[in-house]
Structures are given as C-alpha cells and as structure tokens.
Amino acid sequence: MDTTAPAENASLDELQQRIGYQFRDISLLQLALMHKSYANEQQLEEHCGNERLEFLGDAVIELVISHILMEQAQDSPEGRLSKMRASIVNTDSLAAISRSYALSDCLRLSRGEQENRGREKKSILANAYEALTAAVYFDGGYDAVFRMISDHFKPLIDEAARRRGYSRDYKSRLQELVQKLFNDTPVYEIISEQGPDHYKSFGVRVMINNQPCGTGHGGNKKTAEQQAAREALKLLESTQP
C-alpha cells in the first residue's frame, strides 16, 4: 500500500515527467530524494538516507559518460578522455542538472537543513542527482540510466567534444580551489607501488594543510593523482555553500 501523501505523489509524478523516466518502484525515487538530515530527524535507520544510492550513482555516471566518450571520441587518448570527462562530471555540472529538473522541489530535508538553505546547496543538489541515477539503474537497468544520462548531459558532452577536453582537469581545479580557500598548494604523495614494471599500480594521497584529503589509484602516477584530486575536490566542495 502506498502511504505517500497525494500532494507528494503529484510532485513525484511531475518530477518523473521532467527527468524522462517513469519508476516501477516509486520507493527508490523517494529514497533517492531523502537527505540524511531528514532520516536523522525522523529517527529512521541509518541506511534510509540517500547516501548509499549517491555512492553508486557517482560510479554509474562516470561509467555512462566514459562509455559515451569512448564511442564519440575514438581517436582521443586516455589522458584527453579523462580531461573531457572531468569537464563534464563535477559538482557544478551535477548541481546545475539537478536545478534544471527541479529536484530540489522534491527533496526531503530536515527543518534545520531547510532553514540553512539546503535546497540551494550545490553539494546537496549534486548528491541528489547521483542518488537519482542509482535509483534509475536499480529500477530500470543500465539501458534506462544510459538513456537518461545521455539526454541530461548532452549539452555538456557536445561542448566537451567541441573543445576536445581542453578544460581544467581535477588537479587544476583542486589547486585553484585550495589557493582560494587556504592560500596553499596541494601536495601529492605516493603511498603504494605494486606490480611488475610493465603492469604497475600506484596509490597516491593528496595532502592539504598537512591533512590527507583524498586518495587515488591508477596504472600511472598521473591517473592516480587525478583520482585523488577528484576525491579531495568532492570533499572540499561539499563544505561550500
């Protein structure tokens, strides 16, 4: 039995029309829109917020965008593809897409978070979109989420293809943000190096103000540094209004 209030049902119906996907299991959409502050306020179980969906959605978006770029930019090397993806998938772009489909209208936030203008926070909006993509993936599978993400990201993908990835990568964006916030520069440290010479795997940690802020792994140092920078960016951007 659906215990959702009629007004909320109508709001969710409108949201599904906007995003171009109709859920079979509406509870997945409801979970994707439930911020942890609301779950805590309602004394729900810890997993009832959207953080677990956000975790998967982050990977789903990266996979779909990587898939699209591999098909559309077949002459581009790995480094350029990584830069193109970084210009497409970031907190700013995810928050902008979230705003364009008015996800904030349907978010469940605690009273305190609402009073703190939570519906306008880039990190909350970006995380909600990540959770939404995971919900679509669970509900309709890869083909469904591929179609939705392809549609939502098309302008950004077209722009990245036009520029061929010549934009700020994760390391550049992190350095700019750290200089702005702390007047400092990120420091990258190799924390692991495994495998034979022809098949190395590197682990890298990025330090900001002598504090570890992100780790990354890859087949070369540059890839690992980019992953560490991406993790640190997400951490720092989540603290910004």
Type of residue numbered 122: K
Sign of the alpha-carbon torsion through 58, 60, 62, 65:
negative
Residues in Cβ contact with 1 at an 8 Å cutoff, skipping those fewer than 6 apart:
none
- Asked if 130 contacts 97 with a C-beta cutoff of 8 angstroms, the reply is no
Q: Does residue 75 have an active-site annotation?
A: no
Residue 221 has a CB neighbour count (10 Å cut-off) of 16
* Strand order from edge to edge, sheet including 211-218: 187-194, 201-208, 211-218
> Within 10 A of 166 (CB to CB), how many other CB atoms are there?
11
> Which of 54, 58, 113, 225 is an active site residue?
58
Residue of 113, 130, 225, 231 marked active site: 130
Query: How many of the other CB atoms lie within 10 Å of CB of 205?
Result: 20
Q: What is the CA radius of gyration of the chain?
A: 19
Tally of CA atoms within 13 A in the half-sphere of 90 that contains its CB = 26
Distances (CA, A) of 143 to 136, 150, 188: 10, 10, 38
Taking the C-alpha atoms of residue 133 and residue 53, their distance in angstroms, rounded to an integer, is 8
Is 58 considered catalytic here? Answer: yes
**Residue numbers annotated as active site:** 58, 130
